[in-house]
Amino acid sequence: MNESRLYEDDELLMLSGLQHYSFCSRQWALIHIEQQWEENIKTYEGQLLHKRADNPGLTEKRGSLLISRAMPLVSRRLGLSGKSDVVEFHAADESTPHGYCTRLAGRRGMWVPFPVEYKRGKPKPDDWDEVQLCAQAICLEEMLDVTIAEGALFYGEKERRVEVLFTESLRSRVLAYLSGMREWFERGETPAARYRSGCKSCSLIDICLPRMKTSSVDHYFNTYMEWETDD
């Protein structure tokens, strides 16, 4: 991935696609390359949860806390665009390290950005949600010229926050996933289907047909191996 160049508007990938890609590269390509989408109960519940957080342009002040909803995000360096559910800005104090706070137009003092992403369900065993949140933080860092150490995921089923540290390891996974997305996008191709347990919860299972396509691939592979053995 070439991080030295700056991407133009028509080259920007959707930030939300990072979660799709980290879950399944084929699901991401069906949505973001082939423009296919199907609703199921989980995607519908997720939309309802996000509607509670999204209110573009609204900034709410609660004492030393500013809350910005549906804030547009962009990184020309990574070639990403999207929006946050919520970005909290906490008033900085003497203990805030230099470089971890920023000035905001029309506000006095220095502020510490803290992105919050809303998710239906409960915390997942994999890093799909953390990757998306970390990408939001990287966009904010570029936009505000600041370092962001942590954010949070709010899970609707548990109605609680889970704090996420933006470690170098997590940042590296964001870049690795994004590199894969960029490669498939520029080639305009969709990865082959491979059935796994997560397919059962995917809203695109009837479009993807992973069982059928996986069986076909395995059949041709086994047939080829039989031919090679006969030779």
3-class DSSP assignment, residue 125: coil
Helices (H), 54-189: 128-144, 168-187
Claim to verify: residue 71 and residue 91 sit in the same structural domain = yes
Smallest CA-to-CA distance from 126 within 181, 176, 173, 195 is with 173
Q: What angle (nearest 5°) sits at the alpha carbon of residue 183, between those of residues 176 and 42?
A: 70
Claim to verify: residue 87 and residue 25 sit in the same structural domain = yes
Q: Kindly state the DSSP code that residue 124 receives in the 8-state scheme.
A: -
Picking from 39-48, 90-99, 130-139, which range would have the lowest pLDDT averaged per residue? 39-48
Is 213 part of a structural domain of the chain? Answer: yes
pTM: 0.80
Residue 192 pLDDT grade (very low, low, confident, very high; cuts 50, 70, 90): confident
Is 175 part of a structural domain of the chain? Answer: yes
Dig out the tokens for 23 from the structure.
């879950």
How many domains does one find in the chain?
2
Claim to verify: residue 85 and residue 95 sit in the same structural domain = yes
Claim to verify: residue 182 and residue 217 sit in the same structural domain = no
| pLDDT value of position 51 | 55
Claim to verify: residue 213 and residue 111 sit in the same structural domain = no
Paired with 86 in beta bridges are: 69, 116
Q: At what angle do helices 25-32 and 168-187 cross, to 10 degrees?
A: 50
Is 2 part of a structural domain of the chain? Answer: no
Smallest CA-to-CA distance from 174 within 79, 108, 94 is with 79
Answer whether residue 138 shows pLDDT above 70.
yes
Claim to verify: residue 21 and residue 58 sit in the same structural domain = yes
Claim to verify: residue 25 and residue 54 sit in the same structural domain = yes
| pLDDT value of position 159 | 80
Q: Contact at 8 Å (CB) between 111 and 104?
A: yes
Dig out the tokens for 51 from the structure.
């509607």
Residue 125 pLDDT grade (very low, low, confident, very high; cuts 50, 70, 90): confident
Q: CATH number of the domain that 140 lies in?
A: 3.90.320.10
Print the domain residue range for 227: 193-231
Per-residue model confidence as pLDDT tens digits over 49-77: 455 555 555 578 888 999 999 999 999 99
Per-residue model confidence as pLDDT tens digits over 66-112: 999 999 999 999 999 999 999 999 999 999 999 999 999 889 999 99
Claim to verify: residue 130 and residue 226 sit in the same structural domain = no
Claim to verify: residue 211 and residue 149 sit in the same structural domain = no
CA distances to 2, 37, 75, 181, 217 from 83, in Å: 23, 20, 11, 19, 38
Claim to verify: residue 197 and residue 177 sit in the same structural domain = no
Residue 43 pLDDT grade (very low, low, confident, very high; cuts 50, 70, 90): very low
Residue 171 pLDDT grade (very low, low, confident, very high; cuts 50, 70, 90): very high
Strands of 150-155's sheet, edge to edge? 59-62, 65-69, 86-91, 111-119, 150-155, 160-165
